[in-house]
């Protein structure tokens, strides 16, 4: 991995996600109240403010303008839409947003998911979900968007045709990362307040469990063949390789202190992992779970994405930079 470009300028990226079509969305939380969009030449295409008129989208009890706090994004698999979660909303009626240590309560505010059109780069739909929504995943058939609600301890299921949440599935303390299998039949959700991963059937909405994966599973990737899931274990500093369908851990490797997000290469051969507390990125070979390289980055790397066309790894550093590496 070799540093190609460092992007800065009024950003505080919690995540960066590639659309698959050459756009990169950085979610800048409440510190910047923006989503910044970049192209493959690392140029800023647009800065999308997170303010919305909720009443205009049918939420009539909320009068006036509101601001969000963009956390994570997922793209429809045709690249037409970006779905962006907001940690909380700002404005009248939102006075109890929840925080990083919380439990379900009717007093906590429900937050919103934005749908952004990737042609116009406008927010064109908003969908109410749970309290402190974090990770977002779109099913490969584009039928559902799944949102893990940190403080509601549940999973929101959003119908993409109706642009409406139609179901919540209780999962327990601190649901986080989500992956969906290629057939759009099963979703896997990391439950960070445990050592387990939930397996959600997307036809009948039943839940099974992959138990004792490791301490505080945070982020998940699934390999292109659907044979393995990889999980960052925040409290162990390790990455777990889990065989499917058995749910058995078949390998672990130490990545660094507080591994947060990761991305798998398009061929499934390499994982790139950000290690938040030591400001580094690990490159890990999946076949034998060996760390091939570790590079230093700006403080607090927290998000990561991959562009297979240019073989570039984009790293979002909470300290205010996006670093682009060639590999």
Return the CATH number at 59: 2.130.10.10
| Cα 196 to Cα 211: distance, rounded to the nearest angstrom | 5
Q: Which of 299, 259, 282, 300 is nearest to 177 (CA)?
A: 259
Token representation of residue 60: 């009539």
Q: Residue 89's domain spans which residues?
A: 2-326
Report yes or no: 125 and 136 within 8 Å, Cβ to Cβ: no
The whole-number pLDDT of residue 155 equals 99
* Separation CA 229–CA 241 (nearest Å): 6
pLDDT at position 31 is 87
Q: Is the pTM of this model over 0.95?
A: yes
Tokens 């960070």 correspond to 192
| Strand bridging mode 133-138 / 228-233 | unpaired
Q: Burial code of 186-199, b = ≥16 C-beta within 10 A, e = fewer?
A: bbbbbbbbbbbbbb
- CA 34/CA 32 separation, integer angstroms: 5
Write out residues in the chain with pLDDT < 50, as ranges. none
Structure-block tokens of residue 111: 């937050």
Domain count, the chain: 1
Please give the pLDDT value at position 224.
Answer: 97
- Strands 144-149 and 133-138, by their bridges, are antiparallel
* Sign of the dihedral through C-alpha 1, 298, 193, 136: negative
């Amino acid at each position: 991995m070799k540093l190609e470009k460092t992007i800065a300028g009024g950003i505080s990226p919690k995540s960066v996600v590639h659309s698959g079509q050459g756009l990169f969305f950085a979610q800048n939380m409440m510190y910047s109240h923006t989503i910044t969009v970049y192209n493959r030449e690392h140029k800023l295409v647009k800065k999308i403010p997170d303010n919305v008129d909720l009443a205009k989208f049918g939420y009539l009890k909320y009068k006036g303008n509101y601001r969000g706090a963009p956390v994570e994004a997922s793209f429809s698999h045709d690249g037409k839409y970006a779905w962006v979660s907001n940690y909380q909303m700002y404005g009248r009626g939102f006075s109890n947003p929840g925080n990083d240590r919380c439990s379900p309560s009717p007093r906590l505010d429900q937050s919103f998911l934005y749908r952004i059109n990737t042609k116009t780069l406008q927010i064109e739909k908003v969908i109410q979900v749970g309290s402190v929504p974090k990770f977002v995943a779109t099913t490969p058939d584009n039928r559902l968007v799944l949102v893990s609600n940190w403080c509601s301890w549940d999973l929101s299921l959003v119908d993409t045709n109706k642009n409406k949440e139609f179901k919540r599935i209780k999962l327990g303390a601190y649901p986080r990362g989500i992956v969906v299998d290629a057939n759009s039949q099963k979703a896997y959700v990391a439950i960070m307040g445990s050592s387990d991963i939930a397996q959600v059937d997307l036809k009948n909405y039943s839940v099974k469990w992959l138990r004792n994966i490791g301490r505080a599973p945070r982020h998940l990737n699934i390999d292109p063949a659907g044979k393995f899931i990889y999980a960052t274990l925040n409290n162990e500093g390790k990455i777990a390789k889990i065989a499917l369908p058995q749910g058995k851990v078949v390998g672990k490797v130490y990545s660094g202190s507080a591994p947060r997000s990761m991305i798998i290469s398009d061929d499934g051969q390499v994982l790139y992992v950000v290690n938040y507390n030591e400001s580094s990125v690990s490159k890990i070979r999946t076949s034998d779970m060996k760390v091939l390289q570790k590079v230093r980055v700006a403080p607090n790397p927290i998000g990561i994405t991959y562009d297979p066309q240019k073989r570039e790894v984009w790293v979002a550093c909470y300290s205010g930079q996006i670093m682009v590496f060639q590999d």
